[in-house]
Amino acid sequence: MTRIYADLHLRPNLKNREQASALITKAFQLGYRLVAATLQPNHAKEEIEKLRSLCKEAKLDVTSRIDLQPKTPNELLTALRRFRREFEIVAVLCWSKNVARQAAKDRRVDIINFPSFDYRQRFFDKAEAELAASGIASLELDMEPLLKLEGEMRIRLLSTLRREAAIARGFRVPLVISSGVSDAFLVRKPREIAALATLFDLNIEHAQKAVSKIPTAIVKRNREKLGTKFVAPGIRVIRRGKDC
Amino acid sequence: MLKKVKRRYLALSIDSQESFSSDEFINVVWLAVQKLFGEYGASQTGLRLIDYDAGSRFAVIRVSHAAVEQVRAALAAVTEIRRKPAAIHVTTISGTLKALYRRINSLRKG
């Protein structure tokens, strides 16, 4: 069976159609069949439609994603109530430990992410992993900083990511490896992203799952949930009408 | 008795708007491997440039079988050549040069 590769963290600039188009086309050329585009809550519907048409032209399946960046757990809960049903993927960028804890245990959160360029701001520890394992949140590791950073910063980031990947593996928290890029030159083939992930001591099979099976499963689960036929996990409407 | 070294041949495409000489290209690859794995790690890759075409931005390198993933990661980490934005992608990989060129030809046709 052929793998479907997915990148759940593309950041196209929807105001610049040329740049967005180059990014989407590049993702398709390099072998991705499913991408998630990060949108802002204030994005006009026209812009979202523009993105969908771009992806349709490129024969790429696109899913909508929002990156919440709350300052407090309460702010996160408010944002989740407001946006959960509007976006297919809800990711939380955790700037504090309290927010990270709340995000990990809330079943409305699909992905938890941490500021990539500063290793000191990454709070993924065993307690966090335990909470995430009891919920459904996956840990996302972005590859963009590995491509952009150099020297000591990259060394420290690699060491932090290696520790986080080991904790996630130990607690069976699903890992999603994404690019997190907005520039077409920084898009890499899924196999190359998986090779970069081996730098965190993941074996190549696990790394490939993190760019194919796990992200596609998240999207499939959420599309089912957001569909009109969904009632509860495992229960869905088969038929409506008088003869039921 | 010395164990026979297994090798892999990697066909690469260079994604850039500029053209580079073969020296510039292979230096960037060596530098990327050294930055990620150090001189000791780089010495275990058995990296060698086999073929390079600046016009079509195509290259073939040879690496040790055990170091394929390392080299792939290092190639992915290349973001610029001669301070110009560039990316290096692995097009295909094979155990022999003959099979590699056969695959490249079939990819170009298909």
Decide: A202 and A214 in contact? Cβ < 8 Å.
no
By CB atoms closer than 10 A (0-12, 13-18, 19+), residue B107 is exposed
Q: What's residue A126's pLDDT? A: 92
Mean pLDDT of chain A: 89
- The 8 Å CB, 24+ separation contacts for B27-31 are B28/B78, B28/B81, B28/B88, B29/B61, B29/B74, B29/B75, B29/B78, B29/B88
Q: By CA distance, what is A152's nearest residue in B?
A: B35
Domain residue spans in chain A? Answer: 5-236
CA distance A212 to A67: 21
* pLDDT (mean) for A148-175: 93
Cα separations (Å) of A90 from A9, A68, A79, B55?
11, 7, 10, 44
Residues 88-147 in A contacting B (C-alpha not used; CB under 8 Å)? 146-147
Q: What's residue B3's pLDDT? A: 76
Q: What's residue A130's pLDDT? A: 93
* pLDDT (mean) for A84-113: 92
Question: Looking at the predicted structure, is the pLDDT value of residue A73 above 80?
Answer: yes
Helix (H, G, I), strand (E, B) or coil at A40: coil
Radius of gyration from C-alpha coordinates of chain A: 18
B69 touches chain A (CB under 8 A): yes
Q: What's residue A94's pLDDT? A: 92
pLDDT tier, A55 (very low <50, low <70, confident <90, very high otherwise): confident
* pLDDT (mean) for A75-88: 91
Helix (H) or strand (E) holding A168: helix A151-170
How would DSSP label each residue in A61-86?
A: EEEEEEEE--SSHHHHHHHHHHHTTT
pLDDT tier, A244 (very low <50, low <70, confident <90, very high otherwise): low
CA distance A91 to A111: 5
Return the CATH class of domain A5-236. alpha beta
First to last CA, chain A: 38
Chain-chain contact of A193 with B76 (C-beta, under 8 angstroms): yes
A204 touches chain B (CB under 8 A): yes
* The CATH number fitting domain B7-109, selected from 1.10.220.10, 1.20.1560.10, 3.30.70.3250, 3.30.70.260: 3.30.70.3250
pLDDT tier, A89 (very low <50, low <70, confident <90, very high otherwise): very high
Residues 78-107 in B contacting A (C-alpha not used; CB under 8 Å)? 79, 85-87, 89-90
Residues of A in contact with B76 (CB under 8 A): 147, 188-189, 192-193, 195-196
Q: By CA distance, what is B15's nearest residue in A?
A: A185
Interface test with B, best of A32, A189, A211 (most B CBs within 10 A): A189
Q: What's residue A80's pLDDT? A: 94
Which has the higher per-residue pLDDT, A16 or A164? A164
By CB atoms closer than 10 A (0-12, 13-18, 19+), residue A65 is buried
Interface test with B, best of A157, A192, A193 (most B CBs within 10 A): A192
* pLDDT (mean) for A6-30: 89
Q: Distance (Å) from the C-alpha of residue A195 to the closest C-alpha of chain B?
A: 5
B38 touches chain A (CB under 8 A): no
pLDDT tier, A170 (very low <50, low <70, confident <90, very high otherwise): very high
pTM across the whole model: 0.89
In this complex, which of B73, B85, B89 lies closest to A196 when CB atoms are compared? B73
Q: What's residue B14's pLDDT? A: 95
Question: Looking at the predicted structure, is the pLDDT value of residue A215 above 80?
Answer: yes
Q: What's residue A21's pLDDT? A: 86
Q: What's residue A47's pLDDT? A: 73
Decide: B87 and A188 in contact? Cβ < 8 Å.
yes
A148 touches chain B (CB under 8 A): yes
Residues of chain B scoring pLDDT < 70: none
Domain residue spans in chain B? Answer: 7-109
B86: region left, alpha or beta (phi > 0 left; psi from -120 to 50 alpha): beta
Q: By CA distance, what is B76's nearest residue in A?
A: A192
Which has the higher per-residue pLDDT, A127 or A46? A127
ipTM value for the complex: 0.90
Residues of A in contact with B73 (CB under 8 A): 192, 195-196, 198-199
Which has the higher per-residue pLDDT, A67 or A43? A67
Above pLDDT 70, what percent of chain A? 98
Question: Looking at the predicted structure, is the pLDDT value of residue A44 above 70?
Answer: no
Q: What's residue A15's pLDDT? A: 80
pLDDT tier, A85 (very low <50, low <70, confident <90, very high otherwise): confident
B63 touches chain A (CB under 8 A): no
Decide: A66 and A38 in contact? Cβ < 8 Å.
yes
Closest CA to A211 of A71, A34, A78: A34
